[in-house]
Each structure stands twice: as structure tokens, then as C-alpha cells.
Chain A
Amino acid sequence: MVRNPQTPIEEVNRVKALHIGRVAAVLTVGALALTACGTDNAVTPGNGGSSTSAAAGASVTGTLTGTGATSISAAMDAWKAGFESANSGATVQYSPEGSGAGRKALIAGAVQFAGSDAYMKDAELASAKAKCGAAGAIDVPWYISPIAVAFNVPGVKDLKLDADTIAKIFRGDIKNWNDAAIKASNPSVTLPNLAITPVHRSDNSGTTDNFTDYLAQAAKSVWTDAKSGDWPAALPGENAKGTSGVVKTVTQTAGAITYADDSAVTDALGKVELKVGDSYVPVTAEAAAKAVDQAKPVAGRSANDLSLKLDRTTTVAGAYPAVLVSYAVFCGSYPDAKTVDLVKAFGHYAVSDAGQQAAVSAAKSAPLSAALAAKAKAAIDSITVAAK
């Protein structure tokens, strides 16, 4: 139908309708744009945590900015809420952009603390001296989380597997759930004839780093790749972005298996019990904390740097070796006293009983053991004001 020439009345109506339509379009687009703006859901402080806050003396004020690992997001929300309610003039801002981005930002002086799933490399420690003073940066563990090996097999919620079998599954050597190797350690479970789809992280991730470290140490003969934050390029397969991405993908795909932070794995997925020594250990916070207790400090670091080298081949009963330790990276010194007080107060809160319990209820993490928490507090106490 060809558009007819406009009569004057039609022209007026057309302009009116166009005007109304334009306004409507602007309002609609504006409404849509505004729905894209959102604030983080406010997390109510953990029960009993705020009243017995470990922050001593007067409350601190100011804004503390940090960036880094996404794994600690839930715990960070709890720490933010607890710390801000105990110190009414203080604000903590944390943006989860990735461990590497966090360490980079700290070295550049853009943030006051970083969250990182991996401790600072030697080269990074050397670069940190530029902004952090001669003391450089220190790594303080503040979040321990078990990495669950989660799978989606209808009717099966629990499987016992040893490291070699898990490595073979993720390498694609074991292709079906009813394989003899899986049946051998799970005689009482009916396994369906279903293809296995291993799913890994497409982005560089501390979870991948810790999981490949576990496979490289515990399944040396099968897993011949070195540990790395990137999944080995020689093993292509399904992947997804972020912890939520892999969990969503596995939930939608029957027969899929992945590794993810235990706090993100829903009850819809089954979890694997890892073989430790002669027994199988299910993924729990206590088992994760036990594994971290067996860790040795990394050699060649300052006394205040608590980087840990985890022993994934531990045979201590009840220890769950696939665990992620996330560090707070602080500068050894800051230019002014106010920042030092703020950083120390927040650090103390996060590693205190109150802070750790808040993290446990928000993120299902494992609380730091008493010994590790004491060492962490001492390390945080070493932060000073930079000499002018």
C-alpha cells in the first residue's frame, strides 16, 4: 500500500501521534535504561556478629576501596555489612574483577587492598614496592573455600572418586558415566548410560588454578599439565564464564561435570567425595580447613607474608585437598595514618571470629583455624604509615 498524500487533518493527527509516540518511546527507553541501574542487595549483618565486633577502640571512618577475586563476593558482602554497621563512618567498596586485575590495581596504587585467589608472584612483589613502600605487599589468607566437583546425573547425588579417575574424566579418557572405573569405587550406585560432558572455566580463574594444582599433584601420572589459571589448551571442551556460568551449564546439561566453589553449587547437583589416603572425604568446611592446616608457608617471603603452599597429596584423614585459599593483599605501608587505621580495622574484622562466622553463614566457606587467624592478625598489625 503506497502512502497516500497527507490531507491537512491527517497531517495534524500524524504529527500529534508522532509526538506522543516519540514521548512514549523516550519514556520506554528511559524506563528500560533505569531498570539496568541497580544497587547491590543489602545484606543484613550476620546474627550476633556486629554486637561482638572485634574492632577495638574508637570506630574508624573513611572509604576503603578494593578489587579482585570474584570467589569472595558473598563473604565480602557479609564483611562489608558487619564492618559498616560497627563503624558508622566507614564505607567499604569492592568490585569483583578478577584476582589478576586486583593485584594489578594494588601495584598501580589504584586500590587500598586486593582480593586474590593466588598469592603475589615474586615479580609482582617487586613491582609492588613502588607504591607500597620498601615493605612491599603482604598476602594474608582470609577466605578458605572448598572446591566441589559437581555433576548432573539424574538420581545420583554422591559419588566416591579418586584423583586419577577425576583426572581421566576431565581429560576425556573416561567418556561415559557407567564406566568400570567409576563403578569400581561406587558399587552400590546405579549409573546410567550417559555421556560425560566435562565443563571448565573459560576465563582465567583462581578456582581453575587450585583445581589443576590438585590434579597435577594428586594424579601426576594422568594429569601431565602444570597448574594454571587457564584450563590447558590441549583439552578443549565445554566451558562457561564465571562460577555461575559453569554451575548453570551443568544444571542444564544431563551428564555434565565441573569444578566450582562449593558455595555456588546448588542442591540440584551431586558432589564427589575425594579419596584421601584410604577413605573418601565429602566436601565440607571442616575438611577444607583441615587441609589448609597441613599447608606450608612459601619459601623466600617476608615474615608478614602468609602465602601458603598447599599439599594436595595429604593423607590426613578428614582433609579435603581441593581447596581454594583466597588472600587479602595489603600494602606493607600506606601514606597516611587514616588509611592505615581503616585497613587494619577492616583486616582485623575480616579475620576475627565474628568476621569469619559472618563469611561462613553468607558463603559456606571454612573459617580460618585459630592458629592461622592469630598469624593473620599479627601480619595485619605490621602495616605501618610510610616514612616520609
Chain B
Amino acid sequence: MFSGAALGAGVLIVAVLFAVAMFLVIQALPTFSAAPADITGGKGFVSYIFPIVVGTLIAAAIALVIATPIGVAVALYISHYAPRNMARGLGYVVDLLAAIPSVIYGAWGATFLASQLKVPYQWLADNAGWIPIFGGPASGTGKTILTAGIVLAVMVLPIIASLTREIFLQTPMLHQEAALALGATRWEMIRMAVLPFARGGIISAVMLGLGRALGETMAVALVLSSGPMIASLIRSGNQTIAAEIALNFPEAFGLRLNELIAAGLVLFLITLLVNMVARWIISRHKEFSGAN
């Protein structure tokens, strides 16, 4: 009976996923058959969605570049360095970061973080303006894709930290003691026994964080001052798919609605692709499972 229930649950999940995919495809179809001049922007769906896809990937990339090293470092500290009592408390605090609603993060980013970052952005524009990503006159309000990326990093951090913490705690004691017995320092032991064992787990944690960063809607919609795709990270501009849908959906009508759902379909496919790549990467490292 349990196997039947488990099978039922599995089938249900696949069925729901399939139903969502079908909804997206059916609602998005009119967009692909419409004349290019009717699509927002007047040049067809690809030229409409491409800048937004790039914006989504940029924001997610910024979030991961910031959150991954910090998350792994926090997890390592909690699992191997911190005194036992403090480790538990620290773990709960980091997990609580995940409990904060994303709207709150958006409000914090828009009102506090953006105004604090105005001065650093101006400094970057003055001193590093020759690098394209720091180019041009800095945004007067600080509400740029970089600010949105930083807010996303804070939101993704607890996911990466708590998952990698659990992985680190599961490192075989045998390997750790063996390394120490051979005279390794604590850091060398971590490098030799913990990190290689946890590599697959770190990648899955990062992929889960990436999934959240790609789909995060309200925080980006509130923080980002959207606009056309630009290379500079410190000027207003760029847009993510989720924020585009959230801002325009209530007023969308007819073909515009189909366009937005087509954008949602594109995001769905990107997330699917990212997850498949992650699974493939993890499967390549399966040989080192700790038993050998």
C-alpha cells in the first residue's frame, strides 16, 4: 500500500508539472503566431524577450557570485569551527533569514539599501567608469540591477548555507579523523576530506539557490528601476522576467497577456535547463560517495 501511495504521489507531481507546462504552452501560442509588429517593442518576440532573459541571468549571476562563497563559509564555520552551542544558535538565525517574506526584502532594498549604495556607485562610476559594467553616470536613486542582485544574494544565502551545512555535517568521521591523524591542520583536513565529499551537495545547494534567484518576483519588482538592457550595473535599466510579468500582468489584455505568459514559459524552460545541467554535474561526481 505504501508503494502504491508513493507511486501515486510521484505520478501526481509529474501530472501537475505537465499540466503547468501545457497551460504555459497553450496560453503562449498566440504570441508565436502573431506578426512581429504586434508584439511589444514592434520587432518580434525574440527581440522582446532576449534583453529580459539576459537581465534575469545577470541578476541571478550577481546573487550567486555573492551568496555562494559567503554561504559555504558560514556553513563551514557552523559545522566545523564554531563552539557547539553557538553553532546551533547561528544555524537557526541563518535559517530565519529564509522565513522573511520577499516583499519585506523588496521594501528594505528599495528604501534602505538603494539609498546607501548611491555613494559607492558614484565612486565606481568616477574611478572605474572605463569598465563597461561600471560605466556611465551612476543612478541617482541606487535602484539598479546590482542592488537587486545584492538583495537576491541575501535571499539565496540561507538556502545555500543551510543545505551545505547539512552536507558538511555528514562528512564521514573516518575520513576526517584519518586526515587529522596524518598530521593535517584543521583547514587542510577540511580541504582534503570535507570539501571533496560535499562538492555534489554544494552544487545542488547552489542550483536550488539559483532557482530561487531566477524566479524571485516581488523583491526585484520593488527594487529594480527597470529599462532596456544596458551593460552598466550601476545605472537604472535591465529587467527580469518575473518582475516584468508581475508589473504588467494586472493591466495586460489580449496579446499582451499571451506575451507575458510566453515570457513565463521561457523562464520555465531556463529553470528546467539549469536543473538538468546541475543534475548532470552532480552525477559526474557520484563516484566519490564516501564509501571508497
Contact = CB atoms under 8 A, between A and B. Distances in A.
Contact of B140 (A25, A239, A253): A253
Interface string A216-257: 000000000000011001001111110001001100110110
B182 to A, nearest CB: 13
A204 B248 contact: yes
Contacts of B139: 238
Given A202-B221, A203-B248, A245-B110, A236 B96 contact: no
Contacts of A255: 140
Contacts of A249: 110, 141, 143, 225
Interface string B91-115: 0100110011100000000110011
A87 interface: no
Interface stretch (A98-106, A284-292, A336-344): A98-106
A28 interface: yes
A248 B110 contact: yes
Nearest to A21: B88
A1 interface: yes
A89 to B, nearest CB: 32
Interface centre among A97, A237, A255 (most CB of B within 10 A): A237
Contact of B222 (A1, A104, A238, A241): A241
B252 A100 contact: yes
A2 B177 contact: yes
Contact of B247 (A33, A202, A248, A252): A202
A253 B141 contact: yes
Interface string B137-160: 001110100000000000000000
B250 A240 contact: no
B99 A2 contact: no
Contact of A202 (B96, B177, B225): B225
Contacts of B95: 25
A166 to B, nearest CB: 19
A17 B88 contact: yes
A203 B115 CA distance: 21
Nearest to A22: B92
Interface residues of B, number: 41
Interface in B176-192: 176-177, 180, 186, 189
Given A2-B173, A248-B110, A253-B141, A236 B228 contact: yes
Contacts, number: 105
Contact of A236 (B92, B236, B247): B236
Interface centre among B40, B250, B253 (most CB of A within 10 A): B250
A256 B227 contact: no
A1 B189 CA distance: 10
A57 to B, nearest CB: 37
B227 A237 contact: yes
Contacts of B237: 236
B226 interface: yes
Contacts of A184: none
Contact of A238 (B88, B140, B169, B251): B140
A207 B114 CA distance: 25
B195 to A, nearest CB: 15
Contacts of B186: 1
A100 B111 contact: no
A356 interface: no
Contacts of A2: 80, 173, 176-177, 180, 189
B261 to A, nearest CB: 15
Interface string B258-285: 0000000000000000000000000000
Query: Which 8 A-B residue pairings sit nearest by Cβ, starting from the closest?
Result: A98-B250, A100-B251, A204-B251, A236-B227, A197-B140, A101-B250, A203-B247, A238-B225
Interface of B: 40-41, 80-81, 88, 92, 95-96, 99-101, 110-111, 114-115, 118, 139-141, 143, 169, 173, 176-177, 180, 186, 189, 221-222, 225-228, 236-237, 247-248, 250-253
